[in-house]
Structure 1
């Protein structure tokens, strides 16, 4: 044996005891005879050093580690105050390692080489259970943390994807309703970003085509309305020229001068330097010239009253709006009476931001079916131009000002007719 561990009690009764140390002893052999021992070398090891080493063996809280001799006496402990009573089982007599447990503790036994000592570690079972629970709780806590972090990451990723899909879906619904709204350009470079870029390009193209189509439609509509408008007055011109011819044959030269002057003024307002919208003052002058010519034709049996307030005179109105209505009042109303005479009165009033022009006559009026046809824009008149002239007025008013404006009718058979023309309050700068 090269060296051996021993306690002060193992050194014999004559040895001066030192309770603060343990010894490592080695024999010194005679160099001439290795079988002969000539002395012993002893090295003292402080118990505190060994006690620190024993404490490191306590991997479980409140556990204790003991050094015991072959008589099962405690030589040194990691905690000198914790000397639990335990007995080594018989199985440890020749064993190098062993382990067992009772109701409260778990024991680990290991024999130390080069000595008669052994090391026993006592672990309280409740500490093992507590540590296992703590480990379980720690693992559960870590699992919750990892799950929460994973969920947040997954949510942020899915939100980034679904948010853009939701925006794209919402915009597609808007497209179904006619609202062409583009999405923000910074939407990523993935597949959804490509879809959004394609959608924005589609919206841009559709908007451009819609604007072009709207502009073309407006031009076509304006051309159609101008074409209809140009058809309103040819029959009137034909009848007026026929009247002038008759007056010339009858030698009514002074009256011819009046007719030609009124006719020239009438068509001067009709042309209006190519403008489609004129002032209400100009429109009333246009109607006045028309009635003057008709009075020459029908022997001054038509009384025309212009009661429109001056404050409305600068308001804008599509040209040749009043003349077809006044023409209808003369041809279908006043001339239908036995005496072929009557009065046409034009008044105006303001309601909210809408001006209402009322053309009233005391002619024969309309029956229920005629009134329904007039409201529906259906004309069964024998007089050329009078029917589609009024229909053209409605279309032009709605073309310029919107569908909420136009004509409304009130009529009673034998009492006359009222036509209400609604236009917005506008000025030349509008």
Structure 2
């Protein structure tokens, strides 16, 4: 067994031997040590971090619970105030009782710093209130009638109302939450309803406490009521709380767990607020907790990489004498690769390198013989490709145009058909009968204008063409049918489905390297994934793509430009969903082969 392993090792190439030694005796031990240390450190760090976060979360929810409990206590003051109950039971004008009740309202409102306003609604519909910072509700009558129905079924208990947006005295929106309670007669023991007390508090009381916790955890936090309705969420929330996740938590004790959302790891933390029957949830990115561990991991990997590189350099220096002939052959190969076909490898010995060099020299000689044969065949092939691509556009466009004319004739039965037929004739004469493959920019724009006129017959003047091409550039030579397929693609895939008018803008620029045109539309655009897919489709089209596939016009123009001018030119597509698409066309000043 050992003999076979030894023979196997000795028969390996020098590169494989050196690589195996470095991996077994250097990289593997260091990597194993580093990974074990990193895992232990990460596990301990996670336990400590979660313990700290849970303590901070419990302290925050405890403060909020105490605050809501104090709001409930404020609503209980009218129940134990004999004088206030007598004022509410006493019939009489509003103003006679207002000053006396105002004293209690002022006292109740000043008990907590975060209170915005305190209201008392008696059983005759009179509203008494005390406010801070002009925080009086503008819709008191409508909202308080709803509150009366809520507290009537609460049997005298305080009811916590979730977040709502109210309008203050000046009509400005403001988010608040409230505690309401029915005031019942406790003096005479009848427990009849004497009115309703409402305590409003600014939602920032909750927001400030939650934001302080988020500064520590860098997470996304939420407070929801028993029905799952939103009470508060921090403004920089980067991930949505899955509704199905809420139903799996323990609403009595709280806790935490590891979860995955959109392929990202989070710590899901939940804590109850029992005074309000609310739940506090927080999604904390695991990555944010382990930044320090990531630094240790990176340092470990860097040390391993440096040691590995040093070992590799030492191995290369040792094997230099053995690999010198191979490196000489490599240099000759690179010379040939750069285009110097006359380069030859000097064969001195009959060993393996000599045999390889002799074979290489024979191969170069044969390649030189084949180049002349292949050159003529390729030139004929390029011409055939151009003719095939040129013919590919016309049937596609003729079909759409004839369908437009047919539908227009059936629906309108008017003389517009004559104009459309005349315009179609101009397009056909340009695309089919013109023999020259090179035309001026002006001729291309005239052809495009005919196409837009024809499409406006179909779409009731929906499209507008805006040109910004310098005068000297109008006489520049370009390939035929350059703009029309791109504009056609913009209409059928971007502007046709857009509400309102469509604008197509063409801008031409003469640059040192060549000519650049941008064709922009204000259509429906496309997503970033669709944009990448389309650009890849232009660069690497499938050989079995049907002619009716989306992007046939763009792909046709892109291929013809690259055949005519070279692979460094062509189309570049940029798009934003809902805003439009821009196609950039780049060409050199002179084609790579004659017209």
**TM-score, normalising length: structure 2:** 0.38
Instruction: Give the structure 2 partner of residue 319 of structure 1.
Output: 480
Whichever structure has more helix as a proportion of its residues is 2
Matched, 1:395 2:559: yes
Match of 2:415, SS state, is: helix
Residue 312 of structure 1 deviates from its aligned partner by 0.6
Distance 1:383 1:361 in 2: 24
Name the CA distance, whole Å, in 2 between partners of 1:370 and 1:170: 43
| Equivalence for 1:337 | 498
Partner of 1:294: 455
* Cα distance change of structure 1 residues 209 and 272 upon mapping to structure 2, 3 Å threshold: farther
Task: Name the SS of the counterpart of 2:573 in structure 1.
Answer: strand
Three-state SS of the structure 1 residue aligned to 2:525 is coil
Secondary structure in 1 matching 2:551: helix
1:367 Cα deviation after fit: 0.7
Q: Taking structure 1 as reference, are residues 177 and 336 closer, same or farther at Cα in structure 2, changes over 3 Å only? A: same
- Secondary structure at the counterpart of residue 352 of structure 1: coil
Provide the C-alpha distance between the structure 2 equivalents of 1:426 and 1:390, rounded to a whole number of angstroms: 22
Distance 1:388 1:242 in 2: 19
Offset at 1:252? 3.9
- 1:281 is matched with which residue: 436, 442, 458? 442
Aligned partners of 1:169 and 1:251: how far apart in 2?
74
The residue matched to 1:364 in structure 2 has which SS?
A: coil
Q: Say if 1:372 and 1:288 are closer, same or farther in 2 by CA, change over 3 A.
A: same
Tell me how far 1:170 sits from its aligned partner.
Answer: 8.2
- Secondary structure of 1:372's aligned partner: helix
Give the secondary structure class of the aligned counterpart of 2:503: strand
Over alpha carbons, which structure has the higher Rg?
Answer: 1
Deviation, structure 1 residue 335: 1.1
Mapped to 1, the partners of 2:455 and 2:412 lie a distance apart of: 19
- In structure 2, C-alpha distance between the alignment counterparts of 1:236 and 1:269, rounded to whole Å: 13
Task: Establish whether residue 423 from structure 1 lines up as the match of residue 587 from structure 2.
Answer: yes
1:78-132 alpha-carbon deviations (Å, 9 max, x no partner) = xxxxxxxxxxxxxxxxxxxxxxxxxxxxxxxxxxxxxxxxxxxxxxxxxxxxxxx
Q: 1:238 aligns with which of 378, 399, 404?
A: 399
Q: Show the counterpart of 1:375.
A: 535
2:430 counterpart residue number:
269
Query: What aligned pairs does 1:182-201 form with structure 2 within 5 A after superposition?
Result: none
Counterpart Cα distance in 2 of 1:225 and 1:301: 33
Distance 1:353 1:175, change over 3 A: closer
Following TM superposition, by how much is the alpha carbon of 1:249 offset from its aligned partner in structure 2, in angstroms?
A: 4.0
Residues 13-412 of structure 1 mapped to structure 2, 5 A cutoff: 174-181=335-342, 206-207=367-368, 209-250=370-411, 252-271=413-432, 273-339=434-500, 341-377=501-537, 384=548, 386-412=550-576
Q: Secondary structure at the match of 1:371?
A: helix
Q: Distance in 2 between matches of 1:383 and 1:399?
A: 20
Structure 1 counterpart SS, 2:461: coil
Distance 2:567 2:334 in 1: 26
Contact 1:324 1:390 in 2 (8 A): yes
Q: Are residues 201 and 283 of structure 1, via their aligned partners in 2, closer, same or farther at CA, if it must alter by over 3 Å?
A: farther
Unmatched 5+ residue regions in structure 1? Answer: 1-167, 184-198
Contact 1:357 1:421 (C-alpha < 8 Å) held by counterparts: yes
Distance 1:387 1:357 in 2: 19
Whether contact under 8 Å (2:462, 2:502) holds in the other structure is yes
Deviations 1:325-370 (A, max 9, x none): 101111111112133x311011111232321101011111111111
Return closer, same or farther for 1:346/1:276 CA change in 2, 3 Å cut-off.
same
Alpha-carbon offset, residue 404 of structure 1: 1.5
Describe the superposition over 1:20-72 as per-residue Cα deviations: whole angstroms up to 9, x where unpaired: xxxxxxxxxxxxxxxxxxxxxxxxxxxxxxxxxxxxxxxxxxxxxxxxxxxxx
> SS in structure 1 opposite 2:572?
strand
Asked if the contact 1:367–1:413 (Cα under 8 Å) also holds between the matched residues in 2, the reply is: yes
In structure 1, distance between residues paired with 2:410 and 2:578: 37
CA contact (8 A) 1:315 1:426 kept: no
Query: Cα–Cα, structure 1 residues 211 and 274, in superposed 2: closer, same or farther, change >3 Å?
Result: farther
SS across alignment from 2:475: coil
C-alpha separation between the residues in 1 aligned to 2:381 and 2:557?
17
> Is residue 180–residue 203 contact of structure 1 (8 Å, CA) maintained in 2?
yes
**SS of the counterpart of 2:342?**
coil
Alpha-carbon distance in structure 2 between the residues aligned to 1:171 and 1:323: 49
Task: Describe the shift of the 1:173–1:242 C-alpha distance in structure 2 as closer, same or farther (beyond 3 A).
Answer: closer
Matched-pair contact (CA < 8 Å) for 2:394–2:431: no
TM-score when scaled to structure 1? Answer: 0.51
C-alpha distance in 2 between matches for 1:172 and 1:342: 56
Change in 2 beyond 3 A, CA 1:217/1:242: same
- Per the alignment, do residues 348 and 203 of structure 1 end up closer, same or farther by CA in structure 2, a change over 3 Å counting? same
Work out the CA distance in 2 between the residues paired with 1:405 and 1:179.
26
> What is the CA RMSD across the aligned residues, in angstroms?
3.7
Query: SS of the residue aligned with 2:393?
Result: coil
